[in-house]
Structure 1
């Protein structure tokens, strides 16, 4: 059986679908992201990256949310589908 391709959300490319496996944030930011749908098992789509890679827009639970690279580097997931 093939090993899952685990990447940080910040390393995703436009169009990638990533299934969240871990969230390494604490406090208010963790609570806010959980409330927005960034939970373990959720599938997140990378919608757009700014030219310098910060911020990055993600689609989760029918909502598009831009996160700073600092936050998206602390979440990992399994690459489900490659984009463009």
Structure 2
């Protein structure tokens, strides 16, 4: 499951980051999205892109295409 699959209000733990552009993965990690971090999807933009995510105390807007690179373990 990836971050893209979560709906607003759902939470998950970052399991890993998929292979991709190293500079993009570096930027994602610099925002605090690292393995073991809990993420919460807050809302989707009116047209569906980007989505707003909370990582710790940081609010992040991330494109849906980039959210596919973040593998998640959903919180039940």
Taking structure 2 as the reference length, what is the TM-score of the superposition?
A: 0.88
Residue of structure 2 equivalent to 1:35: 30
Where does structure 1 lack aligned partners over 5 or more consecutive residues?
A: 1-6
Count of residue correspondences? 75
Q: CA RMSD in A?
A: 1.2
User: What is the Cα deviation at residue 11 of structure 1?
Assistant: 1.2
Match of 2:43 among 48, 51, 63: 48
Larger Rg: 1
Distance 1:40 1:47 in 2: 19
Q: Deviations over 1:1-60 (max 9, x none)?
A: xxxxxx210111111111011111331111111111100010000011123321111000
Where does structure 2 lack aligned partners over 5 or more consecutive residues?
A: none
Matched, 1:59 2:54: yes
